[in-house]
A and B are shown apart, each in its own frame.
Chain A
Amino acid sequence: MALSRLSSRSTTLLQPLATTSLLRRRHISTDTTPITVETSLPFTSHLISPPSRAVETSSQELLSFFRDMALMRRMEIAADSLYKAKLIRGFCHLYDGQEAVAIGMEAAITKRDAIITSYRDHCTFLGRGGGLFEAFSELMGRTTGCSKGKGGSMHFYKKDASFYGGHGIVGAQVPLGCGLAFAQKYSKEEAVTFTLYGDGAANQGQLFEALNIAALWDLPAVLVCENNHYGMGTAEWRSAKSPAYFKRGDYVPGLKVDGMDALAVKQACKFAKEHALKNGPIILEMDTYRYHGHSMSDPGSTYRTRDEISGVRQVRDPIDRVRKLIIAHDIATEKELKDMEKEVRKEVDAAVAQAKESPIPEPSELFSNIYVKGFGAESFGADRKELRATLP
């Protein structure tokens, strides 16, 4: 008797919730009706009139932003624990806090547009369509990694998505990126190259060389400065006379964007792509922030206060911003978003477990891919007699 009363009460308790969730819920994949959202801050521009603050998006897009950014965040945190467990060796530069730049950029471009970035490339790789399993395998140096385990954290590549990596030397990717744009112009592809670099690399001479040539020849290059305000441990005001990186192009137009707002990034990249295809290079400065230190060997708190880091996390976190937008526009409930995050966590854990089981590369891989196949060059080891291998 008591049980039945209990059960009836519980069903009545359950019912309202069930009906409201059915009424309120809109499924991820179906709703593409445009929603207009204003960016957090207006764009600041140099030599060009800025795009409008009103960005068109949709529920589907916002939910995909949320999920993808949550995936990236989770991946970086998992990489952190793997590094501390010594499963990832070498260097590991984490991107958490900066996810909006990778996500917003992807939303504005196609896979035919090329992206090239520095060593902080895990999330950019994911944004380009890279898999979690490939990413973790590469981090742990396994054969199933995207670069066959020979590149490591700093050298993720994905050819079919026009992701040109992944570069260890600071600033070296900028002339390379302009070269890619040059090739795109030659082949009349109607595609652009997004060359990403940091505020530390902005002081490299080769950047200005590349910029001059790109401007001279009207190359479809978009130079994106991911300004997280610290070049390793050096704050921007201590290393740059002019921290207005978007203006540094002088004769090249520039735009300053709130890099923690995925929609602003999307708007800016869309605008930049159109500009680059018609008028040549443009510089985008993404005002962003990284929560971790420069790399895993940097605690990240010797040159900035913990209050600063938590302050940014509370006020400007990119995932929270999209979460608030989703809830405000009634696209999903807080619980559904939390469930999505839990799902993402499971996905990441599964990928890590799978990657841990992968084999390390064969010793013969040490000699492969130095030259093109069949070059026949010999590689000598100790003594030129004991160990001789013909490079495949």
Chain B
Amino acid sequence: MITVTAARKHYGSFLALDDVDIDIPSGSLTALLGPSGSGKSTLLRAIAGLEGLDGGTVTIDGRDVTAEPPQRRGIGFVFQHYAAFKHMTVRDNVAFGLTIRKRPKAEIAKKVDDLLEIVGLDGFQHRYPAQLSGGQRQRMALARALAVDPQVLLLDEPFGALDAKVRTDLRQWLRRLHDEVHVTTVLVTHDQEEALDVADRIAVLNHGRIEQVGDPVTLYERPANDFVMGFLGSVASLGGQLVRPHDIVLERDHAAALALDAKVADSPGVITATVERVVPLGFEVRVDLRADSGERFAAQITRRDAAELGLREGETIHARATSRSTVVDHDPALAI
């Protein structure tokens, strides 16, 4: 369990962490999600002790480590750009934490072999980091961090420097690894898809503050505000409210739309709009619309619905939110 209380951090006059409180349960995989500059790395580095706080406390498993240096926090840290020890072989990199603790040679050798097998780098022991691909280097860095049996594993955009395919592979692999070793893990990412994919809890940060913490489903379906809603998926602004594009239903018949809408308590009502563009996206179709008020928004409907409607550009259509849709009142002060 990691507990951060009232964490505050200034860089000069800039407030990077603004009274952040967060609990990270033992054994969880928590993602810190937020746009660039929102303070994700600062918070993670404060937990690691790589960055000092101006105020607040950090406790790890009940131990107040606020004044402790990173060496004594029982952490493993993985950096975006691997931070490999270039002059050491893969084996020596992974063994580093154990070697400096002067563990017996046999114990080190066994542990390193086990870890290299877990991360799929057995057979690469004698290579230098420069002779590995990016994904392999990051797995080496992970093995190196795990070698010291950390109480918490902290990863700062660990897959950020890798290409899309490797990134998705590695994050699913990380999820499986986490299910095996159960170490409390905090993962920083600015990619909502990555957070939804691997994390069992997500904390959304914005401007050095935590907007919402929760499991992925809660965050997606019941966002606390329109920032969280906007960050965890695409949104359409419908009559001053934010809805998911796939929660918009299109009807040719205005009366039918109204009748359906009457059952929805808190919906933005029926909006009459002109079809500007119909974009096939594979399984779904995106319909770009312009409301009579001039407001532009997009709806995402299935291919079959689109075919039934037979939409053509320039036509008039009636749009409304479905009954179970996620709706958040738009607050301009919270806009991204």
Q: Are the chains A and B members of one assembly? A: no
Residues of A within 8 A of B (CB): none
